[in-house]
Structure 1
Amino acid sequence: MTAPEPTGASVRLRPEIAALPPYRQGRPAPADGYKLSSNENPFPPLAGVAAAVAAAANEINRYPDATALALRERLAERFGVTSDEVIVGAGSVSLLSQFIAAAAGPGDEVVYSWRSFEAYPGLVTVSGAASVTVPNRPDHSHDLGAMATAVTDRTRVVIVCSPNNPTGTVVTAADFDEFMAQLPSDLLVLLDEAYIEFVRDEPGAVGRAVDGRTLIGRYPNLVILRTFSKAYGLAGLRVGYAVGPVPILDAARSTAIPLGVTAASTAAGLASLEPAAEAELLERVDTIVARRDRLRAALIEQGWPVPAAQGNFIWLPTGEATAAVAARLFDAGLVTRAFPPDGIRISVGEPESVETLLTILGELVPASQEAHPA
């Protein structure tokens, strides 16, 4: 039987979705290169975590626990809350999608800083709401005052990303408290802390960085989101979590795709929270932080205006030279994340990548600075 001839008619899709570019994953690195584009943890999985995942594979013929109860209970103990005040999802970005969908729809608005996490615009568009973006300050950090001013009667969600992806800057605790005081108590605030474990308050910094863990129970409209992808090295398993008031989390549970968190993800999360395993993982975080700080200092010495870096990455404000600089790095075997015409995000990866990175960027800094002065 032959297939029918195409009629030329197209399926009717939502125009805003048809025009929406899909999330673009970082390119893979060449065989002899380094992938510095996705903020992945460069260390391999711990043996105990890998063993827990392997054990979970023995039951892949069964559906996982839809609520990841065991992991929620462990996290609840850590944060001093009940398990109902914790939700686990397929990465924190999945949870962001659930919360936005629960609170915002057609005719509503979602406020966030820009540039920030590149998934935000797509998540908002899919919900049917409209994005209201507030430019970062000259130091590449959130302008919380301007964000508060941007809130209207149509605003349903505000997203604060600290440390901010991709610029690496943080929101201070004092500024966040002042910000919350300016917002309506019925406006959902999502504090995205995917990189919180990498934060180290700099000597002489004006105020300590916000830490959502200290805010639990203080605000009826605040949810904090975290992930096992970065510090805990579980990016390939997709497991994140959020802590907040039960009514908000219940609404997010209603918007979730059922059974999105696998048994392997739950097992890996639990294994990572075992005291010995977590201690080793956090030692790795310390190593990445030290490598990050050395890299930033070296780039500043070269003349790059690198903003304060508190994630597992650094931000190069390369402006109109962004595509050219990223291409030169790629030719040298370094895959980075370019955001033309703003800058390049470079993950802190293997130590061998740092030497090549500094060599290439040392050659490029004059042209870049001419294109985008500090």
Structure 2
Amino acid sequence: MSLIRADLDTLPAYVPGRTVPGAIKLASNEVALPPAAAVLDAIAAAAHGGNRYPDLAAVSLTERLAHFCGVDAERIAVGCGSVSLCQQLVNSTCRETTDEVVFAWRSFEAYPIVTQIGGAVQRTVPLDGEFRHDLDAMAAAVGPNTRLVFVCSPNNPTGPAVTDAEFRRFLAAVGPDVVVALDEAYFEFVTDPDAVNGRTLIDEHPNLVVLRTFSKAYRLAGFRVGYALGAPPVIEALRKVCAPFSVSVPAQAAAIASIDHSAELMADLAPIVEERTRVREGLLAAGFTVPVTQSNFVWLALGDAAAPFAAHCMDHKVVVRPFAGDGVRVTVSHSEENDAFLAAARAFAG
């Protein structure tokens, strides 16, 4: 008799972006800038309390987030990155081996992992021809055993955002008895005025949970802080299944300081937004299929050429993130690194 769950043999591994010394890393959707100076000062000050356990309930951070988001503190759960909150959502909604989690595919690669770890059934729905969520098909896939739906906007790894109008229709079609998680990890990069903003919908839909993170726009990927916005019963459940002390003392301090200096941090995103347009246009001119993106990365729909393209880029000292058989995701960085990637991409196309 095995001591370990047999199904773990089939558990897909989360594949992080590679770090190769001497190469440009465009594989993990990190912002190239370090944390802001004031944030670094807050981290250093907090490190002096590293001999003490973190605040279990992250009270100060939760209160700061409540003010920042314009909601009551009881509607916020803090987690060790938004990935941890995805796992907590599965754990708090799925109890039986027949319970289902619905999500688009290809989408965030953590969804199938956290679903299987939680003992639930995956029900995936293909993206449409423009590499966007097919919300009508997703609504049709929701059945009597569905407990949770993940919607990623902008979608990782393809980039398009869900519109407010189509998401409202989706919520109406799904109904109030299924938890819908709107994963907005890249929300701060969105410039499309028609894109959904989950914060504006949580009052109308008690089954809606909005996930956001400090890893991307706030440049704290190494500190692992995310948060959820939702109705108090759902938030209370997320807190119950959270690993104790999972958000460290420096991480909580870094997140608070980032909120305090959010205007400065958001201003730094403008060059990335400009560069993503330039990078996409350069790729389109070279003959690649690249959907419109609202995040800090672009998607090259390469199919079976994904792995050869990634190897080619590596030969040019640029690390990208291939998804075998589907495509390649490339982080938009500053102009010099983007130029190096575009040169490699053009050489492949040529």
Q: Tell me if TM exceeds 0.5.
A: yes
- Decide which of 334, 351, 361 is 2:318's aligned counterpart: 334
- Decide which of 83, 100, 120 is 2:90's aligned counterpart: 100
Matching of residue 174 in structure 1 with residue 165 in structure 2: yes
Aligned to 2:198: 212
Matching of residue 249 in structure 1 with residue 235 in structure 2: yes
Contact 1:30–1:333 (CA under 8 A) maintained in structure 2? no
RMSD: 1.2
Contact 1:34–1:349 (CA under 8 A) maintained in structure 2? no
Aligned to 1:193: 184
Contact 2:43–2:251 (CA under 8 A) maintained in structure 1? yes
* Aligned mates of 1:78, 1:49 — CA distance in 2: 17
Contact 1:113–1:147 (CA under 8 A) maintained in structure 2? yes
* Aligned mates of 1:76, 1:327 — CA distance in 2: 45
* Aligned mates of 2:145, 2:199 — CA distance in 1: 29
**SS of equivalent to 1:64:** coil
Deviates more, 1:301-310 or 1:226-235: 301-310
Aligned to 2:105: 114
Task: Write the deviation string for residues 152-211 of structure 1: whole angstroms up to 9, x where unpaired.
Answer: 10000001000000000111000000000011312100000000100111xxxxx70001
* Aligned mates of 2:265, 2:206 — CA distance in 1: 32
Matching of residue 132 in structure 1 with residue 123 in structure 2: yes
One-letter identity of the residue aligned with 1:242: A
* Aligned mates of 2:4, 2:175 — CA distance in 1: 35
Aligned to 1:3: none
Aligned to 1:227: 213
Task: Write the deviation string for residues 69-101 of structure 1: whole angstroms up to 9, x where unpaired.
Answer: 111111111222111110110101101110111
Matching of residue 266 in structure 1 with residue 255 in structure 2: no
Deviates more, 1:187-196 or 1:347-356: 347-356
Matching of residue 43 in structure 1 with residue 27 in structure 2: no
One-letter identity of the residue aligned with 2:324: P
TM-score by length of 1: 0.91
- Decide which of 40, 64, 67 is 2:57's aligned counterpart: 67
Contact 1:111–1:131 (CA under 8 A) maintained in structure 2? yes
Q: Structure 1 residue 363: deviation in Å?
A: 2.1
* Aligned mates of 1:325, 1:78 — CA distance in 2: 42
Aligned to 1:82: 72
Q: Structure 1 residue 304: deviation in Å?
A: 1.3
Q: Structure 1 residue 293: deviation in Å?
A: 1.1
Contact 2:301–2:328 (CA under 8 A) maintained in structure 1? yes
* Aligned mates of 1:354, 1:316 — CA distance in 2: 14
* Aligned mates of 1:55, 1:18 — CA distance in 2: 43
Runs of 4 or more, structure 1, over 2 Å off, are: none
* Aligned mates of 1:237, 1:211 — CA distance in 2: 25
Deviates more, 1:333-342 or 1:69-78: 69-78
Deviates more, 1:357-366 or 1:229-238: 357-366
Q: Structure 1 residue 45: deviation in Å?
A: 1.6
- Decide which of 134, 141, 146 is 1:143's aligned counterpart: 134
* Aligned mates of 1:285, 1:72 — CA distance in 2: 25
One-letter identity of the residue aligned with 1:266: Q
Aligned to 2:42: 52
Matching of residue 349 in structure 1 with residue 349 in structure 2: no
5+ unaligned residues in a row in structure 1: which ranges?
Answer: 1-9, 202-206, 367-374
Q: Percent of pairs identical after alignment?
A: 47
Which structure 2 residues correspond to residues 297-316 of structure 1 after superposition, within 5 A?
Answer: 297-316=281-300
Matching of residue 183 in structure 1 with residue 174 in structure 2: yes
Say how many residue pairs are matched.
349
* Aligned mates of 2:12, 2:156 — CA distance in 1: 19
Which structure 2 residues correspond to residues 3-18 of structure 1 after superposition, within 5 A?
Answer: 11-18=2-9
* Aligned mates of 1:80, 1:349 — CA distance in 2: 31
**SS of equivalent to 2:227:** strand
One-letter identity of the residue aligned with 1:299: L
5+ unaligned residues in a row in structure 2: which ranges?
Answer: none
**SS of equivalent to 1:28:** coil
Matching of residue 291 in structure 1 with residue 275 in structure 2: yes
Task: Write the deviation string for residues 98-119 of structure 1: whole angstroms up to 9, x where unpaired.
Answer: 0111001321000000000011
Contact 2:275–2:334 (CA under 8 A) maintained in structure 1? no
One-letter identity of the residue aligned with 2:246: G
Task: Write the deviation string for residues 121-157 of structure 1: whole angstroms up to 9, x where unpaired.
Answer: 0000000001100000010000000000001100000
Q: Structure 1 residue 354: deviation in Å?
A: 1.3
One-letter identity of the residue aligned with 2:108: F
One-letter identity of the residue aligned with 2:65: L
**SS of equivalent to 1:59:** coil
One-letter identity of the residue aligned with 1:109: E
